[in-house]
Amino acid sequence: MCGIVGLFLKDQSLAPELGNMLTDMLITMTDRGPDSAGIAIYGTDAPGMTKLTVQSATPEADFAGLAEDLGKALGVTITQSDNDTHTVLHLPSDQFEAARTALTDIRPSVRIMSRGDMLEIYKEVGLPKDVAARFNLSGMSGTHGIGHTRMATESAVTTMGAHPFNTGSDQCLVHNGSLSNHNSLRRKLRREGVVIQTENDTEVGAAYLTWKMMNGASLGEALQSSLDDLDGFFTFVVGTKDGFGVVRDPIACKPAVMAETDQYVAFGSEYRALVNLPGIEQARVWEPEPATVYFWSHNDSPTTHEKAA
């Protein structure tokens, strides 16, 4: 069991409230996942810049002078915004690969949580309310976000085993369920050169989507083929730069409820997670169909990654 919440704003006047609403939804799902929690939030982007969100178990030591040291190594100006065990590094977009390589030398114990122009991922072990408090999630603003509360079944309770998982620039995945063919798929993907860091089943799901997209599939196509290639139970919610998507396996035993108003599209593992949203009494509330890919986007003309949906 795990809990998923997601909120996609159509009415941008709600943007300053996004963190607040998502935090309330996340804490409501504590019963479904009390061992760790995480949130992916899509905030503002700066032209030509990308964000690298990194985590450390010893932030005092690792984050002191990190942007400066990394900037020196790459020969560019980098800034950092610390937030508890995470810090967001703001660097020129074309420096991401170089930064990833340099980080392994100058701060080997730092782990990359996400990369993207807008995306930041924060996740830790602990009760959702404690995780939300340490990152001050309720104070964050943005256009859309996804949260996850974890009750581990397939691998250890660790920061790296918590969701969301970053699948590519500005893309993330959360999962409720369990994949049963993750060991064979992990071996296959590693042979293909895909980096998979843990024994976690969802990380394999995320790596699978990344691999499909590296080979030319759109996100919609990758999700569609996951229905054939992933064995097990899943409700996936994926975040993209412009919006979010939902897909459930054909058996669809993992719960999912959606609500839509003029102001937002919301996802919850249970209706309980949605009850405090504005106008929920008048919202269109429904259960997403099995084996069907859904997408909502801020873009009137969808990007190639969303064309398939």
Smallest gap from residue 283 Cβ to another protein (A)? 11
DSSP per-residue codes, 187-212: HHHHHTT----SS-HHHHHHHHHHHH
Residue 271 vs 308, nearer CB to another protein:
271
Sheet containing 119-125: give its strands across. Answer: 119-125, 36-42, 144-150, 2-9, 264-268, 257-260, 284-286
Count of other CB atoms within 10 angstroms of residue 155: 15
- Residue (of 96, 89, 85) closest to 68 by Cα position: 89
Kindly tell me which residue out of 229, 231, 287, 299 binds another protein, with binding defined by CB under 8 A: 287
Q: What is the x/- site pattern for another protein, positions 225-254, by CB under 8 A?
A: -------------------------x-xx-
Is 290 a binding residue for another protein by CB under 8 A? The answer is yes
Looking at beta carbons only, is 79 or 276 nearer to another protein? 276
Annotated catalytic residue: which of 2, 5, 125, 204? 2
Q: Across-strand partners of 54?
A: 87, 112
Residue 133 is a binding residue for another protein (CB under 8 A): no
Cβ nearer to another protein, comparing 104 with 286 = 286
Select 232 or 255, whichever has its Cβ closest to another protein: 255
Give SS3 for 85.
coil
CB atoms within 10 A of CB 31: 13
Considering only residues 249 to 278 of the shown chain, the ones binding another protein according to CB under 8 A are 250, 252-253, 255, 257, 270-275
Residue 2: active-site member: yes
User: Reading across the β-sheet that carries 171-179, which strands appear in turn?
Assistant: 165-168, 171-179, 232-239, 243-248, 294-297
How near is the Cβ of 272 to another protein at its closest, in Å?
Answer: 4
Is residue 279 part of the contact set for another protein (CB under 8 A)?
A: no
Task: Match 């394999």 to its residue by tokens.
Answer: 204
Smallest separation (angstroms) from another protein to the CB of 15: 26
To 10 degrees, what angle do helices 66-74 and 96-106 make? 120
- Residue span binding another protein (CB under 8 A) among the ranges 176-184, 209-217, 230-238, 280-288: 280-288
Residues within the interface to another protein (CB under 8 A): 250, 252-253, 255, 257, 270-275, 285-287, 290
> Residues with catalytic annotation?
2
